[in-house]
Chains A and B, each alone.
Chain A
């Protein structure tokens, strides 16, 4: 399958700082990228969907001003957690897909574990 990378794999930061997470599709052009969050023993929850060159669509309850998403190219999307707080500590996973066929598989990145002290 296609390869999606995330960087960093883990980050520890102080409360109030901002953290940027990168998601890259390495061997295909990602028309759409998704950002998920997973708390311990919970399901992956979709935070937002982004299409290259346009604004992200956020799920209900996700603050767009706190979780800034940029999808500037077909191979890179970034998620910035602004003014992070301990309750933002979670496993953040991106996924990417190509084309317009709804059946096209989403490929997941390895995830970024964020710990906010």
Chain B
């Protein structure tokens, strides 16, 4: 079983739609959680960290459920430029190592 699991998608949504991605992690020692965005043939870029209380950055909302070991990302009012692969990433306690999910692909159509 992969340590971080995501639905690969693709999620194909119209502009303006709201879309949600979920991610589950298996290692309860995971302490830090992130969503990264990766465009085709590019490096991943940090979208936002995920905090236990949930956090919002503009159109993006991230939530963490430690009991169920899942993380979510909600994108409101989707833009064409949101089309990308969204990577769920966890970091274990007392470690620099990041564990990446295989990503969920989002396609926003006009």
A residues at B contact (CB < 8 Å): 1, 32, 34, 41-46, 49, 91, 93, 97, 102-103, 105-106, 108-111, 113
Q: Which of B41-49, B52-60, B61-69 contacts A (4 or more CB under 8 A)?
A: B41-49
Q: Please report the C-alpha to C-alpha distance between residue A113 and residue B44 in the assembled complex, in whole angstroms.
A: 14
Contact A105/B46 with A43-B101, A49-B97 known, Cβ cut-off 8 Å:
yes
B residues at A contact (CB < 8 Å): 2, 4, 8, 32, 41-46, 87, 91, 94-103
Contact A103/B43 with A42-B102, A49-B96 known, Cβ cut-off 8 Å:
no
In the complex, are the beta carbons of A43 and B100 less than 8 A apart?
Answer: yes
In the complex, are the beta carbons of A44 and B100 less than 8 A apart?
Answer: yes
Q: Write out the residue numbers on chain A whose beta carbons fall within 8 Å of the beta carbon of B4.
A: 43
Q: Please report the C-alpha to C-alpha distance between residue A93 and residue B2 in the assembled complex, in whole angstroms.
A: 21
Q: Which of B41, B91, B96, B99 contacts A91 (CB 8 A)?
A: B41
Q: Which residue of A lies closest to B43 (CB)?
A: A108
In the complex, are the beta carbons of A43 and B87 less than 8 A apart?
Answer: yes
Could you list 9 A-B pairs, sorted by A, with CB under 8 Å?
Answer: A43-B103, A44-B44, A44-B87, A46-B97, A97-B96, A102-B32, A102-B94, A102-B95, A103-B32
Smallest distance from the beta carbon of B52 to chain A beta carbons, Å?
14
Q: Please report the C-alpha to C-alpha distance between residue A93 and residue B94 in the assembled complex, in whole angstroms.
A: 23
Contact A111/B42 with A43-B87, A43-B103 known, Cβ cut-off 8 Å:
yes
